Amino acid sequence: MTSPVCPKCDSTDATKSGVVNERQRFKCRACGYHYTVAKVGREVNPYYVVKALQLYIEGVSYREIERLLGVSHVSVMNWVKKYGVKAPRQLDYHPTYKILNQKELAEFFQKPENLKSAGLVVTELGDKYMMIRWERFRAG
């Protein structure tokens, strides 16, 4: 039997070190770190992790990401922390978003007034498209 990979140093040289909550613990011989084997559970598709992080960077809140993707806002917060993602401070711009199908998206782009005075990003979201638009706050 080969030992699982140490989450701290990626070594596979480990010894058994007891059982906690019916899960085998190991001690890494290289760095001395104690760890348990990974839980076998529901794995989130990496597509959703990437989409959640993209939306976070674009200024969409954790709760809005939860509603859009159907992934817990706590999971999104954990991914942001895990991957060290930092969203830039946005003082002058406010993002708004719409979920559109292909026909609605095509109609939106046919109107020139929709393409002025704002930044715009379109990203795939399952069988639809999410359009994120930034409009500058108007003083006064």
Section 19-44 average pLDDT: 81
The SS3 call for residue 121 is strand
Maximum pairwise Cα distance, the chain: 70
The yes-or-no verdict on residue 1 having pLDDT over 60 is no
SS in 3 state form for 74-92? HHHHHHHHHHCCCCCCCCC
E strands, the chain, in order: 14-20, 23-28, 34-36, 93-100, 118-125, 128-136
pLDDT at 93: 63
* The CA-based dihedral angle spanning residues 100, 102, 108, 112, taken in that order and rounded to the nearest 10 degrees: 150
Placement of tokens 């969409």 in the chain: 60
The three-point CA angle 110-115-120 to 5° equals 115
Domain residue limits, the chain: 1-41, 43-91, 92-139
pLDDT at 90: 64
Q: H or E stretch including 108?
A: helix 102-110
Selected from 1.10.10, 1.10.1660, 3.40.720, 1.25.40, the CATH number assigned to the domain covering 43-91 reads 1.10.10
Query: Tell me, what's the pLDDT at 39?
Result: 60
Give me the mean pLDDT over the 12-36 stretch. 88
